[in-house]
Amino acid sequence: MSIYVGNLSFDATEQDLNTVFAEYGTVKQVKMPTDRETGRKRGFAFVEMSNDAEEAKAIDELEGAEWMGRTLKVNKAKPRENRGGGGNRW
């Protein structure tokens, strides 16, 4: 399971998120996607913790919480959709 964290401040770092989520258990990984063209953060992240119980507790506690001036959106991450490649296929 992975946690989706949305509505992040653009000033937030992976280390900031690691610190916040470490209060709920062991953080295995934090990923903050960036825009391919500009390299800027996109305002969301994915956090993976060591077990489902820790992730569930973090989601329950942090959903709707105020952090760095923003109201967090925290929930179970959905599997990535296969949007297919661009281009024409005949």
- Summarize pLDDT for 52-66 with one digit per residue, the tens: 999 999 999 999 999
Measured between alpha carbons, how far is residue 54 from residues 7, 40, 45, 82 in Å?
A: 21, 30, 17, 28
Residue located via tokens 């489902």: 52
* pTM confidence score: 0.85
pLDDT in tens, the chain (90 residues): 699 999 999 999 999 999 999 999 999 999 999 999 999 999 999 999 999 999 999 999 999 999 999 999 999 998 877 666 555 555
- What is the C-alpha separation between 80 and 24, in angstroms, rounded? 25
